[in-house]
A = this chain, B = another copy of it.
Amino acid sequence: MSTAYQQLTATFLRLSRFGHLSAIAGWDMQTMMPPAGSRVRGEALAELSVLQHEILTDKRTAALLDEAEQASLNDVERANLLEMRRAWQQAALLPASLVEAKSIAGSRCEHAWRQQRPANDWQGFAANLKEVVKLSREEAAMRADANGGSRYDALLDLFEPGMNSAQLDQTFGDLKTWLPDLLQRVQEKQAQQPIDFPLGPFAVEGQRQLGLAVMKQLGFDFNAGRLDVSAHPFCGGVPEDVRITTRYSENEFLSALMGVIHETGHARYEQNLPKQWPGQPVALARSTAIHESQSLFMEMQLGRSAPFLQLILPQIKAQLGDQPALDADNYIRLTQRVKSSLIRVDADEVSYPAHVILRYEIERALIEGEIEVDDIPAMWDEKMMAYLNLDTRGNYRDGCMQDIHWTDGAFGYFPTYTLGAMYAAQLFQAVKRALPQLDSLIQSGDLQPIFDWLQQNIWQHGSRFSTQQLMVNATGEPLNPHWFRQHLETRYLGA
């Protein structure tokens, strides 16, 4: 007779197998699926999601959780049980009808958005988004009622357990006191430096080969993953089979290259999650922000550093040909170029937090019921002007319709980007302390000590520790935005 805990591990292993199918079908939807597959795919994924929800919220699961919590468990089992309880509560709170309605409304909104965004069709988009917001508010209210805290906090907790809007208000509030000024000073400084832009066209196949070469340099395991193309780059799949994507433009190769480095950061975390607890929640990535810290560690801390740029410059020239703009100094200026722009995903790391804070403030107000969908464009315009000094009026396509997140109700996600950037800066600082010769290691291509440090301090732990404990263990302190500010000032205003 197996114990309650053992029965739970069997249930979560079964759930992880259905999660596997969902992950692959979801990846396929973004990379491979022809348009006519959309409706039935959405229905199939919704059906699976209902099933997962049923299994998780089965009465027996609740009873087993109660029973296992009374049992004698070791630390890992205890951490696993905590994550099981979290997963159960997240699912059990919502009625199946709401889960299904959210899934269908999200699929519909996202699918239509693919046409509506290029057509700048805010009215069409808003109609679908209202349904998504309505259902997300219902969800938030139910979660907040059960756990305390605000409605928005309840959604934030889905992506970033342990974080809340009070701490975000403080952290982002601090950023708002110095970021716009820093942004202006950096742009003024850079305005005095000449910069040459590489001239295309850059063949897609060459860019793809370059991306694959850099993934290899960064330790991506091609035996357990792939690189493909999607409209909105992401890292999907399962730890044994990690699917990352990028998108190519023939006019410009840096976005795709930096996107590949970013997703490779996500992928290495996934590929190196602990294997000894198959299908268990404790073996999953700690949180969305920690996940983003791994991608931004690769992209921003490592990938845009001068020694890394010098390391990969020969590969760039080998795949795309040489030209004066690929002179090392100019190339470093290119990849460290700061310029306020409309599009979040194209933003540099200095202006990026402004994009995030703006979205955080809008989505929090939306979920808390302080504004309605129809209010979004005006609020967007106002904040873009205040934080980034940009006029977005009437330009929905490159304004409030630019992101996929809200289309399927992922409210509470955006803050994790900037939390991730701050964690990444703090982790890189700790790596610097651990590896005093870091710059020369990077420039010589010996990145293994960095990966070993990440493996030792982040990857191998899965969800064994809370985010805060993980950061304290790895760096000696909880989240400290000081390191992010210091990183930006050092890189962009000089030592």
Contacts and interface: CB of A to CB of B under 8 A. Distances in A.
A32 interface: yes
Interface string A27-58: 01000111111011101110110010000000
16 contacts: A17-B44, A17-B48, A18-B47, A20-B41, A21-B48, A24-B28, A25-B25, A32-B226, A34-B223, A34-B225, A34-B241, A35-B224, A37-B224, A37-B237, A37-B241, A41-B241
Q: What number of copies of this chain does the assembly contain?
A: 2
A222 interface: yes
A14 interface: yes
Nearest to A40: B240
A238 interface: yes
Given A25-B24, A240-B39, A240-B40, A18 B224 contact: no
A252 interface: no
A349 interface: no
A41 B22 CA distance: 12
B32 A21 contact: no
A238 B45 CA distance: 14
Contacts of A368: none
A221 B36 contact: yes
Given A24-B24, A25-B24, A241 B17 contact: no
Nearest to A19: B44
A267 to B, nearest CB: 12
B44 A18 contact: yes
4 smallest A-B Cβ distances: which pairs?
Answer: A37-B241, A36-B224, A17-B47, A20-B44
Contacts of A45: 21
A238 to B, nearest CB: 6
Contact of A223 (B28, B36, B41, B47): B36
A480 to B, nearest CB: 37
A47 B39 CA distance: 24
Given A17-B43, A25-B25, 6 more contacts: A33-B241, A34-B223, A36-B223, A37-B241, A40-B240, A41-B241
Contacts of A14: 47
Contacts of A241: 33-34, 36-37, 40-41
B40 A238 contact: yes
A223 B51 CA distance: 29
Interface in A210-252: 221-226, 237-238, 240-241
Given A21-B48, A24-B28, A25-B21, A222 B34 contact: yes
A223 B17 contact: no
A227 to B, nearest CB: 11
Contacts of A43: 17
Nearest to A237: B37
A237 B32 CA distance: 12
A40 B14 CA distance: 11
Contacts of A20: 40-41, 44
A194 B272 CA distance: 60
Contacts of A21: 21-22, 25, 44-45, 48
Contacts of A278: 40
Nearest to A36: B224
Given A24-B24, A25-B25, A28-B24, A238 B17 contact: no
